[in-house]
Amino acid sequence: MQLSATSQYAIRILVYMAGEKDSQSINAAELAETLLIPYKFLAKIMTSLVKVGLVESTRGKEGGYKLKKKASDIMVGDILDAFHESIKDEQCILGIGFCNGLCKCALHDQWMEPKFLLQKMFRESSLEDIAGRGCKR
Residues that bind a second copy (CB under 8 A): 1-3, 5, 8, 11-12, 15, 76, 85, 87, 91, 93-97, 99, 103-108, 110-111, 113-115, 117-118, 121, 125, 129-130, 133-135, 137
- Decide: is 4 part of the binding site for DNA (CB under 7 A): yes
Query: Cα dihedral sign for 53, 23, 35, 28?
Result: positive
Cβ pair 57, 64 in contact under 8 A = yes
CA-nearest of 120, 116, 85 to 8 is 85
- Decide: is 1 part of the binding site for ligand SF4 (CB under 6 A): no
- Which element (helix H / strand E) includes 58? strand 55-58
1 binds, among DNA, ligand SF4, a second copy, none (CB under 5 to 8 A by kind): a second copy
Q: Using CB under 7 A, which of 22, 33, 36, 38 touches DNA?
A: 38
Per-residue interface string for the shown chain with ligand SF4, residues 84-123, x marking contact by CB under 6 A: --------xxx-xx-x---xxx-xx--x------------
131, burial (CB in 10 Å: exposed 0-12, middle 13-18, buried 19+): middle
